[in-house]
Structure 1
């Protein structure tokens, strides 16, 4: 595409470089074209594979039901230049230069979408049979492990641990999940909400050990802090993820307490002409009155639209768009479809809809009479209606909300 191309109503064509070829990076590049951006767009990814979606890795790809999950995007037709298998090493904002292992790349606008990387189990690196599940290569290495029906120990009872345990049981493996906290999803949900989920493990034939820490991993075994040993043909570590931002050291770009890039309400960073989106960045939420760091697929889908809109708006002198979504994610585990919308941290009221011992129930969180968060297990209608009610800030009638036979949208005040 010619450097002389003009953006409608804007200055001479610019070069936008997007770092990270996951959902947030791909959608940023695609959204730029959808917004009418006609300049150069370069998408840089560390992995050599054609850009792919991650959620299927813990499901269809892992179980061999699908060979991959490449995005259905014709990058060539969109005029998006791909540079795959290329590690980024640093950035010099004052010079508008990105340093990569293939040499420096000049940009006019830079979008940081490097995502998050899994936290490794201390002392387990290099031990045979220890696995992470974040990339396509990780899934390819784990697929034959499941096919051989090994005894598997999963470290961590979070979202990824539960999803992997589900797939391993479906493959016929014996699975033990080890969790340091007193319950599954301890870092994500309140105790009274997460507690009923512990029974799902036993129902699926998975042994869940809470209040349990790993002392060390040996070839073929996991040694726990009480001295007991678990046989382990494979160990899968799912103890969380952190923003992949170590490469930004020395750049001057502001990082937060969790090593995430600090973005403003328009997803701009502290450096000029640099945006950040997806798992690697936090943003201020006016809706919830705090800064949010959201490590979920929907955030990586929605945020790029704001980034693209603002890149084009800046070129044309238009007002900048604000990013303030209702966070959303889902998980498929132990035969259940779990969905969450909103943010419950500042809620002052918790309401249950249905029996948590049953197959379908929801939990609603309210603040000053308005719905701010909702967890739905097997109740997708609650989630769909609740998400819209959170978005609108609609006052709710708590008594009617507690009746699971009544649609949520009929429980407004």
Structure 2
């Protein structure tokens, strides 16, 4: 088929979907491109939601894309409901969209606690509308309980304290950022909350959430003007049931190393898709901005025939917490050796520091830097190269990581 007659439909108008459309045009695709998004807002960036947008210093973070100039059809308020693989049609709540190639980019949705969805004064923070609903509380300096001391909980607590709101963060695990970083690393971060005037309670399992209050497993009841549920997210893939698109056990679309799904002509990218990593020897599901930014290049190249490289990035994310800039690149495993560059001190306030994870052969597998962006930038490149480090030199924060090779 002549490329000018081909129809590419993209389900999802977030960063991954929008960037896929833009890169298709930049790669020379001349056919029809349609982007269908469930939200009624024009595509926007999500990281500012827990920062400037929540604080009211920005109304939104629209992506700088001229859809009309690029000849991209943008359909807003259009929710994907299924796929008719035989007819090559994306089904939506506003009618079918025929395709020759389909890109699934429906992202992720916030997890909630049982019975909490839709309760007055109970919030999640995933969309622009979510931020708009929570913002008046911060403006009024009300009290907030954040359930979950993960990335969203920490960033929302940061914004709330900056606005002068009273904040209590509840975490069921014994330390903040469980599942993301080990206790040895996050224990110094515990003090950041106290220093900022926020209260962090770990080992605090929530039994129930009601309007204006949270009940803990032991029966204690805590009151607040609002409750934010920040316990993570899951791929927004429920609409794919019965479509023929294979899902992984975690609910993500099971894409291959070119981000192709099990349906011919159908790709998946961003928060909704997992992919096999040769670098780490396992399938990765990465719910971070950088993955949504990078993955579309692989999809666009494969769709246009301008490239065929496997998608195997070094995962990267960042978080701004209580005046600190936390960055992480790579993937660490249980057999990796943790190596400190600098000492955070018992109260976590002695300045910038970095942690490296070295594999059994000394290969740098991952790096986490607090206010040391140069360490992160150099470490990320070294992880991509599979470089081996000299532990003694790497542990000296005065030695640039790029000069600590074995």
TM-score range, shorter chain: over 0.9
Contact map agreement 1:347 1:365 (CA 8 A) in 2: no
CA distance in 1, matches of 2:234, 2:212: 28
Distance 1:309 1:60, change over 3 A: same
Aligned partner (choices 113, 138, 141) of residue 146 of structure 1: 138
CA distance in 2, matches of 1:211, 1:224: 10
In structure 2, the gaps of 5 or more residues are none
Q: How many residues align?
A: 401
Question: What is the 5 A alignment of 1:284-299?
Answer: 284-299=276-291
In structure 1, the gaps of 5 or more residues are none
TM-score with structure 2 length normalisation? 0.97
1:235 counterpart residue number: 227
Within the alignment, does 1:173 sit opposite 2:165 as a pair? yes
Instruction: State the Cα RMSD in Å.
Output: 1.2
Aligned partner (choices 117, 125, 128) of residue 125 of structure 1: 117
Aligned partner (choices 208, 218, 240) of residue 210 of structure 2: 218
Structure 1 window deviating more from structure 2 (293-302 vs 318-327): it is: 318-327
CA distance in 2, matches of 1:220, 1:41: 46
Q: Which runs of 4+ in 1 moved over 3 A?
A: none
TM-score with structure 1 length normalisation? 0.95
Aligned partner (choices 398, 408, 412) of residue 401 of structure 2: 408
CA distance in 2, matches of 1:290, 1:346: 14
Contact map agreement 2:27 2:301 (CA 8 A) in 1: yes
Within the alignment, does 1:324 sit opposite 2:301 as a pair? no
Question: What is the 5 A alignment of 1:43-62?
Answer: 43-62=35-54
Matched residue of 2:329: which SS? strand
1:251 counterpart residue number: 243
CA distance in 2, matches of 1:217, 1:395: 48
Please state how far the C-alpha of 1:347 moved relative to its aligned partner: 4.6
1:371 counterpart residue number: 364
Aligned partner (choices 322, 325, 335) of residue 334 of structure 1: 322
Please state how far the C-alpha of 1:320 moved relative to its aligned partner: 2.1
Aligned partner (choices 182, 206, 214) of residue 198 of structure 2: 206
Matched residue of 2:302: which SS? helix
Please state how far the C-alpha of 1:350 moved relative to its aligned partner: 1.2
Aligned partner (choices 294, 314, 324) of residue 302 of structure 1: 294
CA distance in 1, matches of 2:210, 2:107: 31
Please state how far the C-alpha of 1:175 moved relative to its aligned partner: 0.3
1:348-370: CA deviation from partner (whole Å, max 9, x where unpaired): 21110001222210100111211
Please state how far the C-alpha of 1:126 moved relative to its aligned partner: 3.1
Please state how far the C-alpha of 1:220 moved relative to its aligned partner: 2.1
